[in-house]
Amino acid sequence: MKQFNKLQQKWGVGAVQFWLIMLTFALGGSLSGYLNKQLLNLVFLEKNVAYWVFYPIVLTILWPFSVIFVSLVTGQFRFFKGYLSRMLARLFGKGVAKPATSSTTNNTHYNNVAHNAVSRAAMPIHVAIFASGAGSNAKKIIEYFENQGVIKVSLIVCNVPGAGVLAIAAEKGIPTLIINKTEFSATGYVSSLKNADIHFIVLAGFLWKVPEVLVNAYSKAIINIHPALLPNYGGKGMYGNRVHAAIIEAGEIESGITIHWVDAQYDEGDIIFQARCAVEPGETPETLANKIHALEHAHFAPTIEKLLLG
């Protein structure tokens, strides 16, 4: 049982998913064994030396296809897709492809920290989400990667005790770290993040400025989402309805979201991705916020996946 607990922690899955994964392994193995015997019985009239030479070869070929088939039934396809990708990477000595940059940016840098994490055998890639409020974006990201197997939300960092995102973390069984501003500014909690084996950081409605010590420790491994089309309507104090109200007051005809790398300044890191929406006549900060939230929920998690897996 202790070994099972270690596997569950290594894979970063809950108890129910763990046993679904084990069931998939068992059924996939049985299916591949059955198919193997049927195929070899068609080719060989008796179980001679050639039969036993081909037995492990054909079984090895059939096993991944059988497991993937069973995973579709058990709902674990995303986990096994990542699991088999890692196995192939180990067998052929190759890492996963480098993260691709978005067509909306001129940034030519790759996420070296995340790429190194993907390339090594130990998986999954552990992601920390920093959030200050209700956590709607955090929830979407968590759910997007729940059964993916390669990318795992492993820590929620929050600066507001009682924030809604902490309830989401509790519901999903994700560890949390409550931070205070003095220590955050001084240390960036880098040691805590490293001890949790965090490879990548996502800011999802996190309102504090990220200190330089953390930016340096996670160079090109921290991203943020901003509810406007940067470089406009960014900077200190520009968040939530403040941004939407400023856009409407200025008479803008469009707004949108910007996903960008984080540096030591507010909203000044290189742009990774942008998506746009119209600002209609009679728009209010609340109605514009709904449009922006829809864009965030649609694009944030897939952009993270593209950065980390290519």
Instruction: Tell me where in the chain the CATH 3.40.50.170 domain(s) lie.
Output: 112-309
Looking at residue 188, its pLDDT comes to: 93
Place 157 in a pLDDT band, splitting at 50, 70 and 90. Answer: very high
**Percent share of the chain, pLDDT over 70:** 83
Place 9 in a pLDDT band, splitting at 50, 70 and 90. Answer: low
User: Angle, to 10 degrees, between the axis of helix 240-249 and the axis of helix 285-309?
Assistant: 120
Q: CB–CB of 295/229 below 8 Å?
A: no
Segment 114-128 shows an average pLDDT of 61
Does residue 94 register a pLDDT over 50?
no
pLDDT in tens, 267-303: 889 999 999 999 999 999 999 999 999 999 999 999 9
Q: What is the mean pLDDT of the chain?
A: 84
Looking at residue 304, its pLDDT comes to: 95
Segment 107-123 shows an average pLDDT of 45
Catalytic residue positions? Answer: 226
Any alpha helices (H) in the chain, and if so which ranges? 2-11, 15-43, 49-74, 77-92, 112-119, 136-145, 164-172, 181-187, 190-195, 212-217, 240-249, 285-309
Residue 173, judged by CB atoms within 10 A of its CB (0-12, 13-18, 19+), counts as exposed
CATH 3.30.9.10 fits 112-309, yes or no: no
* Element at 156 (helix H, strand E): strand 151-158
pLDDT in tens, 37-71: 999 988 887 888 888 989 999 999 999 999 999 99
Does residue 92 register a pLDDT over 80?
no
CB atoms within 10 A of CB 290: 11
Q: CB–CB of 256/275 below 8 Å?
A: yes
